[in-house]
Homo-oligomer: A and B are copies of this chain.
Amino acid sequence: MNASIKSSQRTLELFELFSLEQRPLTIKEITEALGMPQSSTSVLAKSLVSLGYLEKNEMRRTYYPTLRISLLGTWIRRQHQRAGQLPALLSEVARVTGESTILAMRNGIYSQYLIAQKGNSPTRAQVESGMLYPLACCSTGWCLLTLESKEAVSKIVRRTISEAKNEHWRKSAKHAVEQVELTQNRGYAFSKGETMERLGAISILLPSMPGAYAMSAGCGGWVDRVEGKKDLILGALNELAHSVRQLKDQDEQILFS
């Protein structure tokens, strides 16, 4: 997509990896997990040690983040919402439904996964935090697009058609406007193969605070299985939305008390 600064990206990817593994890692492990050359990993890790963000255990040759990184993002939870609880709530949806569950936000013309919890049922769906699918081509995206004007949606659809990486998305995007309208009317989105063939997902928009960016939650896997579980999934997602709403209300009370 857009040009991004490689070492900046890798720095963040490295800390995301640690947040995934939550244990000391060797250069080799980082190298393999992030798919970058070993020499680059060595240099990056060394730099982060000298900046005080990573600690090196010379004996075991492992690296581990220092407490310092906790300052980067801890505050935002209190500010925005209780992000620490969201993963647990998503896991609950994944557990109840058996399907992969994600939290997504808009990024440009894409829907980007913030948190992903894999379900028990097998899929080939790519669900990892940071992944991007066009807003126009996935159920989480349609939810987010209900917040936009018709003109804005059209514009996004047009950009998607001209920029999409594959023919499948280009084709899906052509039906996006009606999908967004449908989502608007019935309160949830249901994709059936538009994102990836044979995969489907149901999504809803999550309540968001004024000024904060919108997020949607989705749940899905093989489309036929999802169709059979429709009511179960919708129920779980609505419960999630309800819990999030409660968290927001708590935050607002705290804010003004």
Instruction: Verify if A79 is at the interface (C-beta below 8 Å from B).
Output: yes
Known: A72-B69, A114-B71. A59 touches B255 (CB 8 A): yes
Whether B69 and A73, one on each chain, are in contact in the complex, defined by CB atoms closer than 8 angstroms, is yes
Instruction: Verify if A84 is at the interface (C-beta below 8 Å from B).
Output: yes
Whether A4 and B47, one on each chain, are in contact in the complex, defined by CB atoms closer than 8 angstroms, is yes
Hey, which chain B residues are within 8 Å of A86, CB to CB? 67
Whether B19 and A108, one on each chain, are in contact in the complex, defined by CB atoms closer than 8 angstroms, is no
Hey, which chain B residues are within 8 Å of A213, CB to CB? 52, 55, 66, 68
Hey, which chain B residues are within 8 Å of A67, CB to CB? 76-77, 80-81, 83, 86, 103, 105, 114-115, 215
Whether B8 and A68, one on each chain, are in contact in the complex, defined by CB atoms closer than 8 angstroms, is no
Q: Which of B2, B71, B73, B255 makes the CB contact (< 8 A) with A71?
A: B73
Instruction: Verify if A121 is at the interface (C-beta below 8 Å from B).
Output: no
Q: How far is the CA of A68 from the CA of B83 in the complex (A)?
A: 9
Q: How far is the CA of A251 from the CA of B64 in the complex (A)?
A: 14
Hey, which chain B residues are within 8 Å of A1, CB to CB? 50
- Report A's interface with B, CB cutoff 8 A: 1-12, 15-16, 18-19, 22, 43-44, 46-53, 55, 57-59, 65-81, 83-84, 86, 103, 105, 107-108, 112, 114-115, 128-130, 211-213, 215, 251, 254-255
Beyond known contacts A11-B11, A49-B108, A71-B112: 20 more, CB 8 A cutoff: A2-B46, A3-B50, A4-B47, A4-B51, A5-B43, A9-B51, A11-B12, A12-B51, A15-B73, A19-B72, A22-B75, A22-B76, A52-B114, A66-B105, A67-B77, A67-B80, A67-B105, A67-B115, A70-B76, A71-B129
